[in-house]
Structure 1
Amino acid sequence: MTDLDLTITRVLDAPRDLVFEVWTNPDHLAKWFGPTGFTAPSCTTRLVEGGAWRICIRSEEERVERWARGVYHEIRRPERLVFSFAWEEPDGGPGHDTLVTVVLADRDGKTEMTFHQAIFETVEDRDGHLDGWRSAFDDLFTYLEGSIR
């Protein structure tokens, strides 16, 4: 671990298979991905190793729209997902690429989710992602609690 890595661990009150599904199914992913206050009006995934994913997040209040994309590197249902993550630049090209690893461990019917993202260009960039992911994981928790049980 370095100052340019980010790790977040959360215990979710949902079975591991379901948590894996909400990370990989675009219909579910679009319901929670992005910081609180953002929607995800477009989300596509091709869930095979080497397959691409792309999502748009939008804040009507702030009049902001951002696109992110990446490629799946490892898919081990239901315990591990590894993919690249890059925000798109205004010209549509990829920005700085990071690698995301999501590890899901069964904890008596609940799921311990360990999220790791690296390597960021700056500590400020890492901290911005920390705030965004924490907020998104709050929305994920709420989504799992109420929307699909």
Structure 2
Amino acid sequence: MAEYFTITRQLAAPRELVFDAITKPEHFAVWFGTAAVEVPQDSLTMDVRVGGDFRATMLLPDGNRIDWAGEYVEVDPPARLAMTLTDNPDQYAGLPVLFDLEEVDGGTRLTISQDRADFSDEQVAATIAGYNAFIDDIENELARMQNG
């Protein structure tokens, strides 16, 4: 049985806007990988529908790259998005990462859940830190989106 770890944060934006930030390439490219990593717009494929493909390339500061791939398995705007995600596109992507958006006073509660699979405790901690860095950049992108 799957054992999920979760990250939950409250964002000061309506959930429709948060959903846009995680599903539209022009916003996704800004936060995916954090400010330290470039995600070229032309490397993104985001066919946000059940069965649609996801592809992205991260260009790391050290000159290396990570090629990501996945598939959207649940799309319920603006409440939920579930997608597989792997940095090894030739292998099984595993269980989907879940993005749940709940409307709350003052904005949206975003909960990201991922199957721990065969991750060590250290890998889980690093993944949680990575997601928190993503969410920090999502917050910055939301502020920019709201302030035009």
- Give the TM-score, by structure 1 length: 0.86
2:116 paired residue among 115, 119, 125: 119
Query: Deviation at 1:120?
Result: 2.5
Match of 1:105 in 2: 102
Match of 1:29 in 2: 28
Query: Deviation at 1:98?
Result: 3.8
RMSD of aligned alpha carbons: 1.9
Q: Matches of 1:50 and 1:11 in 2, distance apart?
A: 29
Contact 1:16 1:110 survives alignment (8 Å): yes
Secondary structure of 1:20 counterpart: helix
Query: Deviation at 1:125?
Result: 2.8
1:100 counterpart letter in structure 2? V
User: What are the ranges of 5 or more consecutive residues in structure 2 without an aligned counterpart?
Assistant: none
Q: Matches of 1:36 and 1:127 in 2, distance apart?
A: 20
Query: Deviation at 1:127?
Result: 2.4
Secondary structure of 2:86 counterpart: strand
Alignment of 1:1-149 (within 5 A): 5-41=4-40, 42-60=43-61, 62-88=62-88, 93-94=90-91, 97-123=94-120, 124-145=122-143, 147-149=144-146
Could you report, residue by residue, the CA deviation over 1:44-87 in whole angstroms, capped at 9, with x for unpaired residues?
11111011111111222x22211111111111110011111111
Query: Deviation at 1:108?
Result: 2.8
Q: Matches of 2:91 and 2:20 in 1, distance apart?
A: 26
Q: Matches of 2:127 and 2:31 in 1, distance apart?
A: 15
- Give the TM-score, by structure 2 length: 0.87
Residues 37/95 of structure 1: CA separation in 2 closer, same or farther (3 Å cut): farther
Q: Matches of 2:76 and 2:84 in 1, distance apart?
A: 16
How many residue pairs align between the two structures? 143
2:141 counterpart letter in structure 1? Y
Query: Deviation at 1:119?
Result: 3.4
User: What are the ranges of 5 or more consecutive residues in structure 1 without an aligned counterpart?
Assistant: none
- Give identity over the alignment, percent: 30
Contact 1:87 1:95 survives alignment (8 Å): no
Query: Deviation at 1:36?
Result: 4.1
More helix by share: 2
Query: Deviation at 1:140?
Result: 0.9
Contact 2:70 2:93 survives alignment (8 Å): no
